[in-house]
Amino acid sequence: MFNQKQMIMITGATRGLGYALAHHFAKKGANLAICSRSEADLHAVQHELKQYGGEIVAVTADVSVPNDVERLVSITENHFGRIDTLINNASIFGPGPLYLADYPDQAFKDVLEVNTLNPFFMTKRVLPGMLARKSGSIINLTSEVGKTGYAEWGAYSISKFAVEGMTQIWADELTDTGVRINLVDPGEMDTTMHQIAVPTCDYELANPHDVLDVFDYLASSESQMVTGQRFEAQSFSRKETRT
């Protein structure tokens, strides 16, 4: 069951899946901490979310930068006292589609740093509070290209392979602590990132607002014994988790 009083932190909350998640959990009555690198976009989303009545902390931050991570989490913990669920959603695609042989060196470095460092820094920073309470859920976003390499997905694909491995390591190290960490592959969605990755897309894509059931599950007490698992959001069924 989802606890309406939960405190949920969502990175990259101003567009795409992060935006859908912020609205979804705000409607459910959760208290939220959201961040984005764009101050204007962040404040616009914060204003939208206030209509639902919950408390919203919004902090402009680049979560691949340790000082920004420290500021985001410290402000959130000072305001709410805890973080129950962290959703590491923020990521960038970089240039594309491109073959690796043509990939710009600096862009390759930038994508790997942003997409792998931010879930590492965020997880490491929220862990002390979660471990002290012996409770917490961390959700990392992945992709089909995080387990299967496809041409022209470049550094983004490589970064998601890294996130999947990092999540497995965290899960093993956090065994029996009460803190759980899992992966969600939301599938192909109608987002700006997908437009960059597949500019010639000619097939129907999922709406980010329609792939959120798995996040409800992983943020709820139903999943308190689930860790180190990979979920595909578009085929997720709660019935299957009970068998």
Asked if the structure places residue 2 within a domain, the reply is no
Residue of 237 and 182 predicted with greater confidence: 182
Give how far Cα 158 sits from Cα of 53, 109, 111, 155, 188, Å: 40, 11, 9, 5, 17
- Edge-to-edge order in the sheet of strand 179-185: 56-60, 31-36, 7-10, 85-88, 136-141, 179-185, 230-232
pLDDT digits (tens, 9 = 90+) for 191-223: 989 998 889 989 999 999 999 999 999 999 999
Q: Which domain holds residue 165?
A: 7-241
Q: How confident is the model at residue 240 (pLDDT cuts 50, 70, 90)?
A: low
Residue with tokens 């599950």: 217
Mean pLDDT of the 166-172 span: 98
Asked if the structure places residue 31 within a domain, the reply is yes
Domain count, the chain: 1
Task: Please tell me the distance from the alpha carbon of residue 229 to that of residue 86, in angstroms, as a whole number.
Answer: 16
pLDDT at residue 3 greater than cutoff 90: no
Rounded to the nearest angstrom, the gap between the alpha carbon of residue 29 and the centroid of all alpha carbons in its chain is 19
Mean pLDDT of the 1-21 span: 88
pLDDT at residue 89 greater than cutoff 70: yes
Rounded to the nearest angstrom, the gap between the alpha carbon of residue 98 and the centroid of all alpha carbons in its chain is 25
pLDDT at residue 100 greater than cutoff 70: yes
Rounded to the nearest angstrom, the gap between the alpha carbon of residue 225 and the centroid of all alpha carbons in its chain is 20
Amino acid at residue number 64: S
List, in sequence order, every residue forming a beta bridge with 102; answer none if it has no partner: none
Lowest mean pLDDT among 4-18, 65-79, 118-132, 148-162: 4-18
Record the tokens describing residue 73, joined without a space: 């989490």
List, in sequence order, every residue forming a beta bridge with 7; answer none if it has no partner: 31
Mean pLDDT of the 167-196 span: 95
Asked if the structure places residue 208 within a domain, the reply is yes
Asked if the structure places residue 128 within a domain, the reply is yes
Cα–Cα–Cα angle for 237, 242, 243, nearest 5°? Answer: 100
pLDDT at residue 243 greater than cutoff 80: no
Q: Is 156 a catalytic residue?
A: yes
pLDDT at residue 70 greater than cutoff 60: yes
Helix and strand numbers (H, E) in the chain are 9, 7
Q: How confident is the model at residue 239 (pLDDT cuts 50, 70, 90)?
A: low
Task: Please tell me the distance from the alpha carbon of residue 184 to that of residue 5, in angstroms, as a whole number.
Answer: 23
pLDDT at residue 133 greater than cutoff 60: yes
pLDDT at residue 30 greater than cutoff 50: yes
Task: Please tell me the distance from the alpha carbon of residue 49 to that of residue 45, in angstroms, as a whole number.
Answer: 6
pLDDT at residue 76 greater than cutoff 80: yes
Record the tokens describing residue 230, joined without a space: 């990979």
pLDDT at 242: 54
pLDDT at residue 169 greater than cutoff 60: yes
Task: Please tell me the distance from the alpha carbon of residue 77 to that of residue 130, in angstroms, as a whole number.
Answer: 11
Catalytic-labelled residue, pool 19, 156, 203, 217: 156
pLDDT at 5: 81
List, in sequence order, every residue forming a beta bridge with 58; answer none if it has no partner: 34
State pTM to two decimals. 0.95
> Chain-wide mean pLDDT for the chain?
94
Q: What is the CATH number of the domain that holds 32?
A: 3.40.50.720
Assess contact for 142 and 185: CB atoms under 8 A: yes
Q: How confident is the model at residue 96 (pLDDT cuts 50, 70, 90)?
A: confident
Asked if the structure places residue 1 within a domain, the reply is no
Assess contact for 29 and 3: CB atoms under 8 A: no
Q: How confident is the model at residue 1 (pLDDT cuts 50, 70, 90)?
A: low
